[in-house]
Amino acid sequence: MDTSIRNLPAVAQRPQQSGPQEPPVATEFSGWTVYIGAGSSNIPSLPPTHSLLDLPGPDYSCLPSACTSIANNPGTDLVSGDNLPATFKRCLLRLNEAYDTNFSELADTLSYCVPMSSAKAPFWNIFHEVIDLPSLESNSSQKIRETGQKIHQLYIDEHDVLATKNAYSRISELTIVLCLHFLEQKFILEHPEPIQQSSVDVTRSDEASTDCQHLLPARVIKTFFEKLLSGIDKSGRADAGIRVKKFIKDNQPGLKKDMRLQQPATGHLKFSGLRYDDIPGATVAKLYHSELSDHSRNFSIDLYGLIEALGQTQSRSWPPVTHDPLHCAIHRVAYETYKPKLEPINFFKNRLEPFRDRNARTLLELIEYFRNRFAWKHRNGPTREAPEMGEKYNVVHQALQESSAGIGQGSRTMKDELRRFLELCCTNNTRVKQRLESFFNKT
C-alpha cells in the first residue's frame, strides 16, 4: 500500500461544525482525485503523483480491542463490557451495589483530605498500602504481578498531574476504584476454583452462605478498609482517620462487624465484575476507536502504540519543568488553521481528561492537519509563513517550518510527518522524545 501523504487513503472525515463555506479542497485517494465543495465537479483533476512506495505495513484491519480485561471473574454471573463510556461514577455505583457500601460517599469524604503544608494527601499512602511494590514483585503469580504493575503505572501517570491541578475529588475516586479492582483480581486469581473451608483465614458466620467462595468478597472489603486505615495512619492525617471511622460507623449494611467473629457480613456480598477497561483512563475511550483503527490501517502506523509511546506528556510538577509536546503541536495547528477552538486553552480545557484520550485526540487532529495542509498546498500554493510565536516556541519554530514545507515531496509518509513534528515539539522534554524515538525505530 502506498501510505505517502500524496496518496491519501479514503477514510471518514470527522464531522465539522456548520459555518461559512470554504473553497474546495483537493484530496487524493489512491490514484484519483476527489474535490470537496460546491461546484467541484467542474474542477479538473490534479496531475498524477509520483511518490515513492513504502513497503507494505502491518494489517490493522483486525486490530485487537484496546479494551482488554486483565482477569476474568469466574462465578460472579456479572456481565460487563457494554458500549457505554467509562466513568468513575459508573465504577463506584457497581462497587456500591456489589458490596452494599456507599463508596461514592467515601470518595467524597476523602476528597476533603487535601494536603497540608508539604505533606501528601493520604491517597498516596492508601494506594501504596494496597499495592505494595516490594510485596508485589515477590508474588509468585505472574498474572498478579502484571495486574498490579499495570494498575500502579496508571496511578503514577494520573496522580501527580491531577495533584498539580488540585483535582482531589478525581484522585479520591481513582484511588478507591484502582485499589478495589486490584484486590478483587488478586483474590480471584489466588482462588480460581471454589475454595474449601479449611483454606479460608476467616470463619464463616452463622448467617453467611454455605458456599465458601462467597467469603472472598468479604475478604476484599475487609482488606480494603484495613489498608485504608493503615494508609491514613502512615500519612499522619488524624483528620482523615476521623472522617473514615465516622463513615464506617454510618455505613452498617456492608461493613457491619459480626458480633462474634469481627468480620464483615458475607452472605449478601459479591464481586463487582469491574474490569480494567471499565476504568476511565485505563484504555483509549471507545469514542476514538473507529478513527484510530482506520488511520492505523490506511497509513500503516500503530496509533494505539504511538499513544502509549507518548504516555503522560504533561509535567508532574508546578510550575512545569518540562515542555509539553502536545501543547506545542496543537498551538502550531491552531495558528496554521485559523481555528481558535484548537488553541491549547480550548483544546485541552478538560483538566481531568485521561492522558490516553488526550493523546488520541491530538494525534487525530494532527493527521487531519497534515492531510488538509497538503491538499491546500497542492491546490493553492504554499501556505502563509508564520511570524514569531513567542519565546516559548522560538526554539522549534524554524525547524517546524522546514518540516511542514516538505509535505508531499514524494517519499514522505504520514508516519514520517508525525515523527518529525512530534520530536521537534519535544524541545527539552527528553523523556517523551526518547520514548518516541524508541517507538519509531521499532516500527
Q: Measured between alpha carbons, how far is 383 from 337 in angstroms, rounded to an integer? A: 10
Q: HSE, CB side, 13 Å, CA atoms: give it for residue 83.
A: 3
User: Residue 55: is its pLDDT beyond 70?
Assistant: no
Give pLDDT tens digits for 61-103: 344 333 333 333 333 333 334 567 789 999 999 999 998 889 9
User: Residue 392: is its pLDDT beyond 70?
Assistant: no
Structural element, H or E, at residue 36: strand 32-36
Handedness of CA 418, 421, 425, 430 (dihedral sign): positive
Give pLDDT tens digits for 329-365: 999 999 988 899 999 999 999 999 999 999 999 999 9
Q: Measured between alpha carbons, how far is 122 from 118 in angstroms, rounded to an integer? A: 12
Work out the pLDDT band at 218, boundaries 50, 70, 90: confident
Q: How many CB atoms lie within 10 A of CB 303?
A: 25
User: Residue 19: is its pLDDT beyond 80?
Assistant: no
Report helix angle 168-190 to 215-235, nearest 10: 140
Q: Chain-wide mean pLDDT for the chain?
A: 74
Give pLDDT tens digits for 161-189: 998 888 999 999 999 999 999 999 999 99
User: Residue 408: is its pLDDT beyond 50?
Assistant: no
Give pLDDT tens digits for 288-323: 999 999 999 999 999 999 999 999 999 877 777 788
Handedness of CA 385, 388, 392, 395 (dihedral sign): positive
What is the share, in percent, of the chain residues with pLDDT greater than 90? 46
133-150: average pLDDT: 93
pLDDT for the residue numbered 126 = 95
Give pLDDT tens digits for 409-441: 434 688 999 999 999 999 889 999 999 999 999
DSSP assignment letter at 58: -
Indicate the SS3 state at residue 264: strand
Residue 81: which of 283, 359, 216, 261 has the closest Cα? 283
Work out the pLDDT band at 254, boundaries 50, 70, 90: low
Q: How many CB atoms lie within 10 A of CB 64?
A: 7
280-291: average pLDDT: 94
Give pLDDT tens digits for 364-381: 999 999 988 877 766 655
Cβ atoms 197, 214 nearer than 8 A: no
pLDDT for the residue numbered 86 = 87
